[in-house]
Amino acid sequence: MIEIDSIVKTYEGVPVVDAVSMTIQPHTICAVVGTSGSGKTTLLRMINRLVTPTSGTIRIDGEDIRGIRPYELRRRIGYAIQGHGLFPHWTVAQNIGAVPRLLKWSKADISARINELLELFQLDPSQYRDRFPSELSGGQQQRVGVARALAARPNILLMDEPFGALDPVIRAKAQEDLVAIQQRFGTTVVLVTHDMEEAIYLGHNIAVMDAGKLLQFAPPKQVIGRPATPFVQELIGTSERPFRLLSLSKIADHLEDGDADGDPLPATATLRDAYSELLWSGRSAAPVEKDGRLVGRVSLDALARLAARPQ
């Protein structure tokens, strides 16, 4: 659990983060969104003491972080930096192994961990281990940056726009991977992003920042349905609201009894995918399959009801 308690950071008297308080529950993803310069990075960097707050406290699992040596705190917290920040004089393997090496893992453990992570991020170890960062594409550099943050299996992961340089396909894959890793290890993730879509897909909670202030801290459904301020509403995009809402749920959670014509849809797809597919194929309903069995149906009527503003 990360408890942020009326934290303030001022530079030359100007507050950059202004009395922000929020509690990030353990094993959840908190997506921080906001315009450029709203203080997202500064907020993130106060959690691992890269920035010293002007006032306020941050506690991790109840422990005030001011009582932990900065370098020890940082070895416990994974940090994927905005724009990767790989060590240019170290190979991919040395970069990923940085924190485990500081923690004095054995050589064999470090090497195994490096291969495991490279495979996870679809970079063939035999091909990429010994490359220097300058010999990677921007997207590959970013993935190595995230792999480095994950290397020592931290309980807390801070990510500053980690998927910014990825193309949509790899980006979607990286997001899925993050969710899988987060669920498997119960990592607490604080993720800064510019992309509302990403925030809604990944975040258990979304923190909306503007000019240093925290405008809203709530689950995506609430941020979409009950935006705290006009600014939050604008950030979500007024015309996108129903579709964003649909993207939050899976077909499996809103199954109707009965049957329908045409190709079945997977129960794991989102309602938004179902809506899109129904419109595209000109059907008013479609059968739903799970593990190769038909389990019910999904209909336009039901989707239209679910897309309406929550009461």
Partner 1 sequence: MKPGLLLRVFALALLIVLLVAPQAFRDFFALFVRPTQPPIYTQGNLLDITLSHLMIVAIAIGLSTMVAVSLAILVTRPFGAEFLPLSRAIANVGQTFPPVAVLALAVPMLGFGTAPTLVALFLYGLLPIFENTLTGLTTLPEDVMEASRGVGMTGWQRLTQVELPLALPIILAGIRLSTVIALATATIGSTVAARTLGEVIIAGLTTGNTAFVLQGGLIVGVLAVLIYDSLSALEKWLARRTGRLTRADA
Ligand X SMILES: Nc1ncnc2c1ncn2[C@@H]1O[C@H](COP(=O)(O)OP(=O)(O)OP(=O)(O)O)[C@@H](O)[C@H]1O
Interacting residues toward partner 1 by CB under 8 A: 48, 50, 70-76, 79, 81-89, 98-99, 102, 132-135, 148
Q: Which residues contact 264 (CB under 8 A, 6 or more apart)?
A: 286, 287, 288, 289, 294
Looking only at the bridges linking them, the beta strands covering 63-64 and 55-60 are: antiparallel
Work out what residue 11 binds among ligand X, Mg ion, partner 1, none; the CB cut-off runs from 5 to 8 Å by kind.
ligand X
Looking at the Cβ atoms of 37 and 186, the one nearer to ligand X is 37
Stretch that binds Mg ion, among 41-49, 168-176, 220-228, 288-296 (CB under 5 A): 41-49
CA 77 to each of CA 49, 80, 191: distance values in angstroms, whole numbers, following the listed order: 11, 10, 13
Residue with tokens 């950071």: 9
Q: Is 13 one of the binding residues for ligand X (CB under 6 A)? A: no
Positive or negative, the Cα torsion across 169, 180, 207, 4?
A: negative
Looking at the Cβ atoms of 150 and 178, the one nearer to partner 1 is 150
Q: Is 38 one of the binding residues for ligand X (CB under 6 A)? A: yes
Q: Is 41 one of the binding residues for Mg ion (CB under 5 A)? A: yes
Q: How far is the CB of 200 from ligand X (least distance, A)?
A: 18
Looking at the Cβ atoms of 88 and 230, the one nearer to partner 1 is 88
Q: Is 11 one of the binding residues for ligand X (CB under 6 A)? A: yes
The number of helix segments (H) and strand segments (E) in the chain equals 14, 13
Q: How far is the CB of 183 from ligand X (least distance, A)?
A: 27
Q: Is the separation of the CB atoms in 71 and 49 below 8 Å?
A: no
Q: Is 311 one of the binding residues for ligand X (CB under 6 A)? A: no
Stretch that binds ligand X, among 29-37, 164-172, 251-259, 261-269 (CB under 6 A): 29-37
Q: Which two tokens stand for residue 132?
A: 């220097």
Looking at the Cβ atoms of 75 and 250, the one nearer to partner 1 is 75
Q: How far is the CB of 255 from ligand X (least distance, A)?
A: 40
Helix axes 168-185, 138-150, angle to 10 degrees: 0
Residue least distant from ligand X (Cβ):
41
DSSP at 284: S
Amino acid, res. 210: D
Looking at the Cβ atoms of 164 and 287, the one nearer to Mg ion is 164
Stretch that binds ligand X, among 34-42, 57-65, 223-231, 287-295 (CB under 6 A): 34-42
Q: Which residues contact 230 (CB under 8 A, 6 or more apart)?
A: none
